[in-house]
Structure formats: C-alpha cells, structure tokens
Homo-oligomer: A and B are copies of this chain.
Amino acid sequence: MVIGGGFGGLKVARRLARRDVDITLIDRVNHHLFQPLLYQVGTGILAGGQIAPALRDLFVARENVRVVLAEVEAVDLEARTVTAVAGGELTLPYDILVVAAGARDSYFGHDEWERDAPGMKSLDDAFRIRTRILSAFELAETAASPAERDAWLTFVIVGAGPTGVELAGQIAYLSRHTLAGHYRSIRSEAARIILLDGAPSVLPSFRERLRGKADAELRRLGIEIRVKTTATSVDAHGIDIDGPDGADRIEAHTVLWAAGVEASPLARVLAHASGAEVDRSGRLAIAPDLTLPGHPEVFAIGDMVALEAVPGVAQAALQEGGYVAKVISSRLDGKSAPGPFHYRDKGSMAIVGRSWAVADVRGLQLAGRRAWLIWAVIHIAFLVDWQKRLEIVRRWFWEFVTHDRHERVISYVSLLPDELARAEVESVRRRLASGESGGEASGQ
C-alpha cells in the first residue's frame, strides 16, 4: 500500500505496478500534482488540469493497482491496517506500507496567519492565490481612498526560496506587462512587490554567485528585497516585520506565504506508533534503508522524512521512491537488499523572471535565458503525459508572444479560506455518510 500520489509515492507505485503484486494507492485528492509548475497556475498562465493528471488515468491499464480517494487518519502497525475517511470510514490491510504524504506550509506556530497569508502547496491553494492577486487589482481600481488603493496594490511575499522568488517575479510581470493598460483609475505597473526572508540573501540554498545574480534581476524587475527580516504578525490589512532597521509595518491586503514547510501530520502518527523521533519541522527520523525503525515492512519517503544532506525537493522524493521500489522488488525476488539509500544531487534551479532563471547543475552555474531554457526542457520532459506537454508548450509560446494570460477567472468560491472550506466539506461528508440516510429522508 502506498499513501500519497506525489512524486515519491507515484514513483513507487509505477515501478511496482509491473510486478505481480496488488497495490493500493491512497490520496486525499484525485490527481498527481506537478508542483514545480504550480506557480504558473497561481498566476494565471496554466489551467489546473494541465499540471494535474488524474491518478486513475495513470493506472487504468494496471488491473493490480487500486486508487482510493480518501484521507488517511490512522495507521495500526500491529494489525497492519490503515484507517482512512472517504464517504465513510475505511479500514484497509497492508503487507508492506510506503508512506509518502509530503509536507504542508509551516507558520512556525502561528497557524492563525494562514487565513491572511495563504501558502501554495495544492491546486486549491493556487486557485485561491490567483483569485487574491487578480482581485487585489480589481479592488484597487474601485478603492474608496488612496490608502486603501495602495494597500491593494502592495504585495508581500514572505520567504525568498524558489517558490517565493517565482511568485514575486510573476506578480511583477503581471503588473508591469500582462495587466498594463487594463485599468482606468490605477496604473497596475505601480504595484509594490516586497520579498522578505530571514536569511541574509534571496535563494539562500544557492551558491553565492547565483544568489547575487538573482538579487540583481529581482531588483531590475522592481521588486523590493528585505533580507534578515522576519514576519512578527500578519492580519487582513498588512504585516508587521522585524529586520536590520528595526520593527516596521507594511499595509498590504495581499500577503503570500512561502517561508517554510512542515511534515504531514502522518509523520507524527508513525512516530507515536513506533517510538521513532521527529525533528523541529515534524519530519520523521528513518533508517538508512528508508524504513521505520523496528518495522522493515513500513517505508517513509519524501518531504515528510528527515535524512541528512537530503533536501526536501522533488528529485529527492523521486530517488527515494525508486530506491524503495528496488528494495521491495529485491525482497519479492528473495535477493539481498541493496545498500543504504544514497542521494545524488543533480543540481537545482529557480525561475526568477518570465524567461530568466538560475541553475546550478553539475558544477555549472548559469543565470539568464539559457538557464531558463534548460529549466523549461527539463520540466516539460518530466510531465507525465504528452497531450499536457503540448498544451503547456503552446500556452507558454502564446504568453511569450502576446504577454497574455488565459486563466484569469476570479471565482467566488476560491476566495474562501482553506480551513473553512475543509471544515465545511468535512461536515458535508459527515452529513452524507451519516446514518440519516434511512428514515427521515423522504419525510421532508
């Protein structure tokens, strides 16, 4: 059984699907998400379906794979069962369990900030961020006072890692180009975009030369960079920060969060059940062969685990998934297990502008359009299906030529804060699943 259809879980399931085993793949959404392109959904370039193939589609020809749309709530390591909630509660047995449940945004103990500073981990998040960004310009256009207008035209991105830098660059491009000339009371180009990070520079995980180049490009795009600066409070009207120049307040109706992640709560569930440890980010400590200590039949991989010198990136999850598939395969064949997992760093990249990136690949440090081309080729190559590849390349080409963006729908629904939506869905589910279905239904 595999929990999670992200990069790691999908890799395990695809590799093992060819073997004579029964696989149950559980996810709480019905799609695999190609997260590296999520910011393009969040900023109106791509449609959701273009980066999110239905998990069922990927396994339709594999009769031995069963996809279950449900949210895992508990794991019983003794009974070897997983409890998950769909319409009702399901209890599913396993022989071998691979947990690849990923990570979510971390607010460092201030979960109440999520409402006013949404992060971007799921498609829902991306739709919500798209609505927030586009609505901000609309509400600036009809603002009652200059102060209100300025607050709507101020965008603060907390966290200057790859996601924060991508978002800042895209908002800059939207305001300076895509939306230029669209409004009558405001100039969208005047939008103020502020990127802040507690580290001493943007893209702290990159080497110094690329950090400097990225910093210069971001400033050229008109983005204000505040480093060594942290958020001390976030509300609907702005953000309080603390930095080298002391405490400050920025009035802004749009604050986006890209400051850090914490492991899926399932990491704690497994830790609690097995006595394993979790680190400060809630990530599970696992053995060198990626198993849960004392439980060779349970693997955990991806962003929810802590492994020395392995970053929380897609390529790590993919490599771990491949490794786990190999371990399980060798057990099926009765062969000896391969050695411990070893991570091979294939480099890292970040998009800074529209067609400007930094790339650190096999010792080569590139910045600019060349790096962007490499980024584009690699990301298109990793997409799971051909039709999506073609459509995305076409949209990119169109956007490149016309500066136009086609996913600009502002939806009532996506304005909703996440936790509220989930709570509501929860209650709808319970209502549907409840015993009520019998007697009173026809009595209305």
A338: Cβ under 8 A from any B Cβ: no
Segment at the B interface, from A139-147, A198-206, A296-304, A325-333: A139-147
Selected interface stretch from A120-128, A164-172, A265-273 = A120-128
Query: CB distance B409 to A69 under 8 Å?
Result: no
Question: Which B residues touch A183, using CB under 8 A?
Answer: 56
Interface locus among A342-350, A375-383, A420-428: A420-428
How many subunits of this chain does the assembly comprise?
2
Contact with B along A69-106 (1 / 0, CB 8 A): 11000000000000000111010000000000000000
Q: How far is the CA of A205 from the CA of B395 in the complex (A)?
A: 40
On chain B, the residues within 8 Å of A424 by CB distance are 415-417, 420
Interface presence of A240 (CB below 8 A): yes
Using known A-B contacts A69-B142, A184-B66, A442-B233, determine if residue A425 contacts B412 with beta carbons closer than 8 Å: yes
Q: Which of A11-57 contact B (CB under 8 A)?
A: 29-31, 44, 47-50, 52, 54, 56-57
In the complex, A183→B182 CA distance in Å? 47
Q: Tell which of B86, B394, B406, B441 touches A49, judged by Cβ atoms closer than 8 Å.
A: B406
Contact across chains for B48 and A407 when beta carbons are under 8 A apart: yes
Interface residues in A, total, Cβ within 8 A: 84
Is A138 an interface position by the 8 A CB rule?
A: yes
Q: Are A49 and B408 in contact (CB under 8 A)?
A: yes
Known contacts A69-B138, A87-B139, A57 near B404 by CB under 8 Å: yes
A209 near B: Cβ within 8 Å? no
A–B Cβ pairs within 8 angstroms, 23 of them: A30-B408, A30-B410, A31-B408, A31-B409, A48-B407, A49-B408, A50-B406, A54-B408, A54-B409, A69-B138, A69-B141, A69-B410, A87-B148, A88-B142, A88-B143, A127-B411, A236-B431, A236-B441, A388-B406, A391-B394, A412-B422, A415-B421, A416-B416
